[in-house]
């Protein structure tokens, strides 16, 4: 038998580089990235096993629990076919052993399961005449898929009239899946549509579930892949909740020797429903490597995924510091070995260079560098309001004409007028000087580009002015001069870099200002003032200016 089908000699282009993504929820991994992750795995295996080659071991088992194109399993098979040549000399026997004894997958949809089997077995039927695996007795082989249903819970009870009989009936509305949070209105479907109820996370006992699928004695050495990222959660408009963290948590419960996944990077500092996941990750010293891509398009060309992506390596038996590597287009790659959780922080500091700058800032403000926490009285965030500083929704629209006693309101789309009596909150800010800054940062479409502004352009709020939820309010200040001093401070690049270190999405909440120190509001601040005051090096200044765009007084 020729080796051509297994080594793909002369095969150009690779079909898995040509297929389009199904959606941002189900992003296909390019073969080049899959191999980069496998290289890291092989290096870690060798380090943990006295230099042994993982691809020369006929007993290592691999699971992709959310296989789509089958690229991870296919590339693992390719490596094992070469690595096991001396152990199992006969090619057909070697291929059959690898596919039936070492590689396992769980399809996320019927379509992707068929695609994965075609990629790995060269046939959509594992036991078909064209399959390169000869020992399977089922069509699925080791790439399992069966339709799974969501389990709806919560919601509220409503009484409606039956459209046919007119009788009053009871219905449940706004229910969500108790496992993944999917909204029933979006994912309660007929048999002809996929449910997107992924089997790996729709169970209370993943160990029992794996035993049911692959056998009671199955223990995977490596779990690897690219999980689905999010699902509609039944909220307003296009509201969606992340689900990739559920796959990570389930995989850890299976206690593989190594775990590697590629996921969005938003968990570093924020993200809907990710607080507990972030805390567990940054406190887990078994995460030994993180490769962070500031722009998702550097990994998934053409995919609009704000905040970038990362892949991590989790090593069950060898806890320690984490090797953090940052990638962005043609910038030099930077690497540092450090803890994921720095003392005094509750987020993962994304930029290696940013961490050294933050340490300098904290050291000047506190006189020590053992913690990244600013004392309460020195934190700028104490001046920043919560959402809806005056209790008004983003959709609120003030009147077009002013009546006696009305206040100017800065709102979505411009300004208007509102009566003082209409404001539920923020009375202590109304008659003071203050600043307004957008709750949402300026967009760059679906791309992460640098340098950028980090925040929208802040502006002065005179006494007698208020805002809707579109803006946060910063203040109050005792005079116009103090407010203008604070305004100049927010325009500084270094200030906005400190905001970026705590910012994971376009939303700029009060929390993201917690690394920003308070200043004396007696001067017009410039970056040169701040660079000198905090003792930044030329390289650190260059990094700040590479990441953060200048902000003019009027933009």
Domain segments of the chain: what residues?
Answer: 4-83+217-340, 357-547
Structure token pair of residue 389:
């500083």
Question: How many CB atoms are located within 10 Å of the residue 403 CB?
Answer: 9
DSSP structure string for 495-539: HHHHHHTT--SSB--GGGGTTSBP--SSS---HHHHHHHHT--HH
4-83+217-340 and 357-547 have identical folds: no
DSSP structure string for 385-432: --SSTTS--TT---BSS--TT-EEEEETTEEEEE-GGG--S-HHHHTS
Contacts of 528 (CB under 8 A, 6+ apart): none
pLDDT attached to residue 238 = 54
Q: Do 289 and 40 contact (CB within 8 A), yes or no?
A: yes
Structure token pair of residue 387:
């959402």
Contacts of 25 (CB under 8 A, 6+ apart): 196, 228, 229, 230, 231
Q: Do 347 and 502 contact (CB within 8 A), yes or no?
A: yes
Q: Which residues of the chain have pLDDT under 50?
A: 1-12, 18, 24, 237, 444-445, 555
Rounded to the nearest 10 degrees, how much is the dihedral formed by the CA atoms of 70, 76, 81, 84?
A: -150
Output the pTM of the full model. 0.87
List the CATH code of the domain at 4-83+217-340. Answer: 3.40.50.150
The topology under which CATH files domain 357-547 is: Adenine-n6-DNA-methyltransferase TaqI; Chain A, domain 2 (3.90.220)
pLDDT attached to residue 190 = 76
Question: How many CB atoms are located within 10 Å of the residue 46 CB?
Answer: 13
pLDDT attached to residue 282 = 94
Per-residue b/e over 419-450, b at no fewer than 16 CB within 10 Å? eeebbeebeebbebbbbbbbbebeeeeeebee
pLDDT attached to residue 421 = 92
475: left (phi over 0), alpha (psi -120 to 50) or beta: left
Question: How many CB atoms are located within 10 Å of the residue 355 CB?
Answer: 19
Contacts of 197 (CB under 8 A, 6+ apart): 148, 149, 150, 177, 179, 180, 182, 187
């Amino acid at each position: 038998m020729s080796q051509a089908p297994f080594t793909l000699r002369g095969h150009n282009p690779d079909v898995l580089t040509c297929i389009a993504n199904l959606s941002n929820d189900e992003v296909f991994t390019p073969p080049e990235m899959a191999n980069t992750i496998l290289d890291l795995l092989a290096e870690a295996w060798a380090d943990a096993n006295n230099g042994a080659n993982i691809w020369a071991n006929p007993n290592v088992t691999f699971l992709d629990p959310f296989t789509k194109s089958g690229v991870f399993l296919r590339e693992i098979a390719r490596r094992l076919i070469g690595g096991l040549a001396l152990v199992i000399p006969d090619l057909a026997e070697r291929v059959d052993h690898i596919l039936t004894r070492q590689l396992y997958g769980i399809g996320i949809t019927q379509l992707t399961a068929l695609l994965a089997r075609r990629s790995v077995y060269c046939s959509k039927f594992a036991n078909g005449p064209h399959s390169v695996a000869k020992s399977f007795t089922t069509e699925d082989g080791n790439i399992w898929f069966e339709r799974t249903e969501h389990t709806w819970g919560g919601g509220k009870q409503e009484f409606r009239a039956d459209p046919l009989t007119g009788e009053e009936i009871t219905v449940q509305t706004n229910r969500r899946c108790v496992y993944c949070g999917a909204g029933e209105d979006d994912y309660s479907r007929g048999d002809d549509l996929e449910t997107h109820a992924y089997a790996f996370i729709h169970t209370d006992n993943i160990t029992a579930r794996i035993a049911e699928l692959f056998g009671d004695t199955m223990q995977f050495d490596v779990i690897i892949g690219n999980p689905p990222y999010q699902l509609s959660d039944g909220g307003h408009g296009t509201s969606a909740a992340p689900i990739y963290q559920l796959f990570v948590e389930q995989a850890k419960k299976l206690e593989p020797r190594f775990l590697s996944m590629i996921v969005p990077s938003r968990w570093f500092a924020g993200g809907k429903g990710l607080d507990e996941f972030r805390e567990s990750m940054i406190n887990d010293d078994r995460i030994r490597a993180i490769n962070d891509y500031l722009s998702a398009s550097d990994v998934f060309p053409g995919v609009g995924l704000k905040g970038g992506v990362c892949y991590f390596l989790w090593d069950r038996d060898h806890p320690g510091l984490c090797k953090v590597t940052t990638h962005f287009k043609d910038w030099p790659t930077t690497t540092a070995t450090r803890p994921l959780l720095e003392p005094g922080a509750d987020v993962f500091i994304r930029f290696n260079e940013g961490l050294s700058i933050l340490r300098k800032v904290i050291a000047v403000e506190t006189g020590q560098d053992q913690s990244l926490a600013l004392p309460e009285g020195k934190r700028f965030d104490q001046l920043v309001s919560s959402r809806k500083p005056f209790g008004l929704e983003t959709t609120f629209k003030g009147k077009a004409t002013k009546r006696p006693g009305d206040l100017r309101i800065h709102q979505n789309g411009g300004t208007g007028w509102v009566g003082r009596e209409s404001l539920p909150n923020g009375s202590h800010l109304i008659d003071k000087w203050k600043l307004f800054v957008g709750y949402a940062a300026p967009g760059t479409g679906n791309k992460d580009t640098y340098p950028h502004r980090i925040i929208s352009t802040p502006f002065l709020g005179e006494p007698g002015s208020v805002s809707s939820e579109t803006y946060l309010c910063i203040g109050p200040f005792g005079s116009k001069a103090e407010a203008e001093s604070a305004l100049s401070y927010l325009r500084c690049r270094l200030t906005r870099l400190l905001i970026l270190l705590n910012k994971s999405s376009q939303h700029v909440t009060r929390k993201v200002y917690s690394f920003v120190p308070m200043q004396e509001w007696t001067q017009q601040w410039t970056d040169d003032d701040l660079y000198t005051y905090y003792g930044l090096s030329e390289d650190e200044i260059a990094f700040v200016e590479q990441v953060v765009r200048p902000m003019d007084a009027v933009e």
